[in-house]
Homo-oligomer: A and B are copies of this chain.
Amino acid sequence: MTVLARRAAAEFIGTAFLVMAVVGSGVMASRLSPDDAGLQLLQNSLATGAALVALIVALQPVSASFNPVVTLVERALVMIDTGTAATLIVGQVLGGLAGTVAANLMFGLDAVSWSTHQRTGPSLWLAEVIATVGLLLVIFGTVRSGRADRVAFAVGGYITAAYWFTSSTSFANPAVTIARTVTDTFAGIAPPSAPAFILAQLLGGALGYFLVRFLYPSIASSAVATADRKVFS
């Protein structure tokens, strides 16, 4: 078994659990607290952030991006090659879909059902751009300054917060966006709404790339060692 296969498997399983956390906690929240959408989002955001801490700590030494935009920026920063990036992204997208199916089944729902939750409009698209810029700033600012050991806490904190401070509740992840189209529950997004979200995320990715390059023009010496050992992604 090659290293790349293990990395793709880590992206698959990690993204699957991440999406399970997003979708599953959304179902649980809307069933148990049906009358307060804010309480639902609190439950959903804390579960997602807490899951991210666990998954990144556990899988980072193999591969723990769980997000095609992050993988693309790693490719742009020449941290990985094109073939690796493509393989990891396939793992992320398939893992995300598997996560939705697992969440649906755990809660006694059909394995797959298209979401009818429309999420559209310029305010939400702006929010996705900003959410993705911030996520990249947090991940690569942390990694490039030689603090990869704390990226799990930074990302967990960021996503918990971004659910609240962006009007889109911060998808910020194309693989997760695709996965959320196949559940007609709290966390779902209707398929017609998905392309614009993904486009906004990619735009945010490009902006984030330049921001990271500007703020961290060179990688910290301690971070070089980290990158050599491929601790992150």
- Residues of A that sit less than 8 Å from B by CB: 1, 6, 9-10, 13, 17, 20-25, 27-29, 31-33, 35-55, 57-62, 102-103, 105-108, 121, 123, 126-127, 130, 134, 137-139, 141-142, 145-147, 149-158, 160-168, 211, 214-217, 220
Given the interface pairs A130-B102, A138-B54, the reply to whether A21 lies near B154 with Cβ below 8 Å is no
CB of A165 within 8 A of CB of B108, answer: no
State whether B102 touches A58 (Cβ < 8 A).
no
Closest to A108 in B: B123
Q: Is the CB of A153 within 8 A of B53?
A: yes
Contact call A165/B123, Cβ cutoff below 8 A: no
Contact A105–B134 (Cβ < 8 Å): no
The prevalent SS among residues of A at the interface is helix
Residue of A45, A107, A215 with highest tally of chain B CB at under 10 A: A215
